[in-house]
Structure 1
Amino acid sequence: MTATSRRPQVQSFFDPATWTATHVVHDGPGSACAIVDPVLDYDPKSGRTRTASADRLAAFVGEQRLRVEWILETHAHADHLTAAPYLKAKLGGRVAIGEQITTVQKVFQGVFNLEPGFRQDGSQFDHLFRDGETFRIGELAGEVMHVPGHTPADVAYRIGDAVFVGDTLFMPDVGTARCDFPGGDAHALYASVRRILALPGETRLFLCHDYPPDSRPVATETTVAEQRAKNIHVHDGVSEAEFVDMRTRRDATLEMPVLILPSVQVNIRAGELPPKEGNGVAYLKIPVNAL
């Protein structure tokens, strides 16, 4: 079996507070691994962070004797803070994201009026992936797919027969990501989804979120074939015009995510908190009437 045809092992962790799935992709006990979209627990009422979710990942990595080579972000999340810096300090690895994060940094530097020294070149991350770039996780081969639409910087990571799609797709009975954040584009999302769904039908798709109806439990894995047949927003036969009309109308009814304001200003810094002020405390900004 070649590296490109390997079927990686994937251990998924679900955080019910933010409806977020984090994945550890590896090649078996004692192998190299990557962590995809880790969560830092954050209480918006008190402004306190905790590491319980990240510690569950770390415990699994330790139990399986895995070596963390990458901490992969599919995009700058608007619904949870990333635990990337904490896990990097604890387990090692390089923090990476798509190269279009610079576009998102420029937009939100203005939204939050960030400090003059804030860098908009993506240098807070260890690596910026370009579309089509390949990388390795030990013996596993990975490829980066730029899949904009939800944000300009979204990427999916194709590793063997598994693709980590971020927020681009949800379970078939939930649909697709919203496109009304700054830089979002429903036309671009449609093209991105069709690119993913052009992969072989048996390709496993690992999702970043699930918002299940009461009729089923949480699920964070599906397939290309299942999405093409059943996705309520973008199954085969749905035209781009139909999708854009649906997405635009639906997005107009959605509330902002609870943690969008703290999350984005932290995640565009690769998870680091803003610089501490003179009293030794870091502060997050809440723009009033800006979104």
Structure 2
Amino acid sequence: MDDPIALASAVVARALAGERPRPIVRSFFDAPTFTATYVVHDPATLRAAIIDSVLDFDAASGRTGTSAADAVLAYVASEGLVVDWLFETHVHADHLSAAPYLQQRLGGKLAIGSAIVEVQTIFGTLFNAGTEFERDGSQFDLLLKDGDTLAIGQLEVTMLHVPGHTPADMAFVVGDAVFCGDTLFMPDYGTARADFPGGDARSLYRSIRRLLLLPAQARLFLCHDYKAPGRDTFVWETTIGDENSANVHVHQGVSEEDFVTMRIARDATLSMPRLILPAVQVNMRAGHLPPAENNGVHYLKIPLNTL
């Protein structure tokens, strides 16, 4: 099998050289969860994918909403796009996925990395989910592996497994656009945390080093931004070259040992994300709520003194 990074680099190079179309990327930033959702499409065929969608959730009331997802729906309709894929870069801990809502209205297949089964095993146990919760990834339409390829119209897509933040993180290389999930943030902010169950700072470093082997001109689209100190605006697009030269945590010259030491120390100072408990138990089910109980109501569990 060809090296996945070589495959992905060739996809980027062909797009940059004009041999294949460059994708059109539209971002939707959800400020309450600091999350960027993307619609990426082929300008020739108008075939599209949606990456990391957001379902509104008010933790105080337990109410869900669809305003963020409806903005995506409106854009898809206005551009005349046909959605073939809904991608999740990983099981998110900071927002609930709107993939089922969007899939019901737009079609397309829902895909995530095949290591989702490891995440489901870890968190199925944490939430004592019982036998109703399958831990085999069957809630998703397709499980992706490192080096897998597919197409969005005439756009070439290569999957890269980038564990560390979680065991199942996947980056999607679509033409010259790279969607890296939570693995990297803007150069002035650094990198993702690696202290969630199943996370690993050493794996994160190695995943990032793989990504930074991609062509420097590749556009890099991030899942989050939190405004680095001294910066007043949200930004969620950069390049592989800028990350290589300027990322405050992992620029060229930072050793694996130095990174791991920094990441573990930094993670020890961070509080848990505000929505981690509701988000994970929904997202491990591909965005579906836990089954309703005999009164017709869906419930989320809050494990006490566990995380």
Q: CA deviation at 1:215?
A: 2.4
Q: Which residue of 2 aligns with 1:13?
A: 28
Task: Give the counterpart letter for 2:288 in structure 1.
Answer: E
Q: Do residues 260 (structure 1) and 262 (structure 2) align?
A: no
Q: Which residue of 1 aligns with 2:194?
A: 179
Q: Which residue of 2 aligns with 1:157?
A: 172
Q: Percent identity of the aligned residues?
A: 58
Structure 1 gaps of 5+ residues are none
SS in 1 for 2:83: strand
Contact 1:6 1:161 in 2 (8 A): no
Q: Do residues 46 (structure 1) and 61 (structure 2) align?
A: yes
1:274 pairs, out of 285, 290, 297, with: 290
Whole-angstrom CA distance in 2 between matches of 1:42 and 1:201: 37
Task: Give the counterpart letter for 2:58 in structure 1.
Answer: D
Q: CA deviation at 1:141?
A: 1.1
Whole-angstrom CA distance in 2 between matches of 1:129 and 1:284: 28
Q: Which residue of 1 aligns with 2:85?
A: 70
Q: Do residues 286 (structure 1) and 266 (structure 2) align?
A: no
Q: CA deviation at 1:5?
A: 3.8
Q: Which residue of 1 aligns with 2:72?
A: 57
Whole-angstrom CA distance in 2 between matches of 1:203 and 1:5: 14
Q: CA offsets per residue over residues 159-211 of structure 1, 9 Å max, x none?
A: 11111000000000110000000010111000000000001100111000001
Q: Which residue of 1 aligns with 2:256?
A: 240
Whole-angstrom CA distance in 2 between matches of 1:4 and 1:186: 37
Whole-angstrom CA distance in 2 between matches of 1:108 and 1:267: 11
SS in 1 for 2:157: strand
Task: Give the counterpart letter for 1:160 in structure 2.
Answer: G
Contact 2:45 2:154 in 1 (8 A): no
Q: CA deviation at 1:217?
A: 1.2
Q: CA deviation at 1:117?
A: 1.8
Q: Which residue of 2 aligns with 1:91?
A: 106
Whole-angstrom CA distance in 2 between matches of 1:60 and 1:4: 27
In structure 2, the CA distance between the partners of 1:97 and 1:4, relative to structure 1 (3 Å rule), is farther
- Larger mean Cα displacement after TM superposition, 25-34 or 60-69: 25-34
Task: Give the counterpart letter for 1:77 in structure 2.
Answer: H
In structure 2, the CA distance between the partners of 1:236 and 1:5, relative to structure 1 (3 Å rule), is farther
Question: How many residues were matched structurally?
Answer: 291
Q: CA deviation at 1:30?
A: 5.8
Q: Which residue of 2 aligns with 1:25?
A: 40
Task: Give the counterpart letter for 1:267 in structure 2.
Answer: N
In structure 2, the CA distance between the partners of 1:25 and 1:271, relative to structure 1 (3 Å rule), is same
Structure 1 stretches of 4+ moved >6 Å: 1-4
Q: CA offsets per residue over residues 80-100 of structure 1, 9 Å max, x none?
A: 000000000011111100000
TM-score (norm 2): 0.93
Task: Give the counterpart letter for 1:235 in structure 2.
Answer: H
Q: CA offsets per residue over residues 17-38 of structure 1, 9 Å max, x none?
A: 0000000000227610000000
Whole-angstrom CA distance in 1 between matches of 2:45 and 2:160: 28
Contact 1:163 1:204 in 2 (8 A): yes
Whole-angstrom CA distance in 2 between matches of 1:29 and 1:67: 12
Task: Give the counterpart letter for 1:128 in structure 2.
Answer: L
TM-score (norm 1): 0.98
Whole-angstrom CA distance in 1 between matches of 2:42 and 2:132: 41
Structure 2 gaps of 5+ residues are 1-13
Q: Which residue of 2 aligns with 1:197?
A: 212
